[in-house]
Amino acid sequence: MFTVRIQSEDFDAAAEAAALTRGRNDVGAVVTFTGLCRKDDAQGGAPLIALTLEHYPGMAEEEIGRLVIEARDRWPLLGATVIHRFGRMVPGDNIVLVVTTSSHRTAAFEAAEFLMDWLKTRAPFWKLEEREATNSWVAAKDTDDEAAERWG
């Protein structure tokens, strides 16, 4: 099972992982990554009050779907779920979930890392940080681009 969802609602990472393994005895590895909204990402800056994620409906699902297909082509995955939220989130809220399953751990780990690295650079999402005195759009980070480049 391969699933991509873009939603405003929260998700349950354990339930999503369980859905990928239910009734299966060929799965030997499940890797989950949950990205959370954190309180402060700016050195010495005002604490984050909220993060609003906007996306391009239709395009976001399509692009993430392409990433999942590419991961499936590169690794022997038995399943994958990618959920990305949009809307306003406060520190501690879930933002993104990647779950990969395979017969072996290496494929599951590498595929999950590949998906997250590319989600950070290719998925059409924009982040607006809300702080005490100001709101600002988050710029792309060179470190995210460098992480994605290693996958070729």
Q: What phi and psi values does residue 62 have, to the nearest 5 degrees?
A: -65, -45
Residue 148 predicted with pLDDT over 70: no
- Domain locations in the chain as residue ranges: 2-149
147 pLDDT higher than 70: no
Cα atoms found within 13 Å of the Cα of residue 118, Cβ hemisphere only: 21
d(CA 25, CA 22): 9
Share of the chain above pLDDT 90, in %: 72
- pLDDT tens digit string along 6-25? 999 999 999 999 999 999 99
Residues 57 and 50: beta-carbon distance below 8 Å: no
At residue 2 the predicted structure's pLDDT band, cuts being 50, 70 and 90, is: very high
Question: Which range, of 33-47, 57-71, 75-89, averages the lowest pLDDT?
Answer: 33-47
| pLDDT score recorded for residue 46 | 80
What is the overall mean pLDDT for the chain?
91
Residue 145 pLDDT level (bands cut at 50, 70, 90): low
Q: Which CATH architecture has domain 2-149?
A: Alpha-Beta Complex (3.90)
Residues linked to residue 45 through DSSP beta bridges, in sequence order:
none
Residues 6+ apart with CB under 8 A from 102: 27, 28, 29, 75, 76, 77, 78, 108, 111
**What 3-state DSSP class applies to 73?**
helix
- The arithmetic mean of pLDDT across residues 50-58, rounded, is 93
Residues 6+ apart with CB under 8 A from 3: 80, 81, 82, 83
Q: Are 68 and 4 in contact (CB under 8 A)?
A: yes
Selection from 34, 37, 17 nearest residue 96 by Cα: 34
Per-residue pLDDT, averaged over 105-121, amounts to: 94
Categorize the per-residue pLDDT at 69 as very low, low, confident or very high, splitting at 50, 70 and 90: very high
pTM: 0.90
The answer to whether 7 touches 61, Cβ cutoff 8 Å, is no
Between 150 and 47, name the one with better pLDDT. Answer: 47
Q: Where are the alpha helices (DSSP H) in the chain?
A: 13-21, 59-74, 105-122, 142-149
* Residue 43: per-residue pLDDT: 62
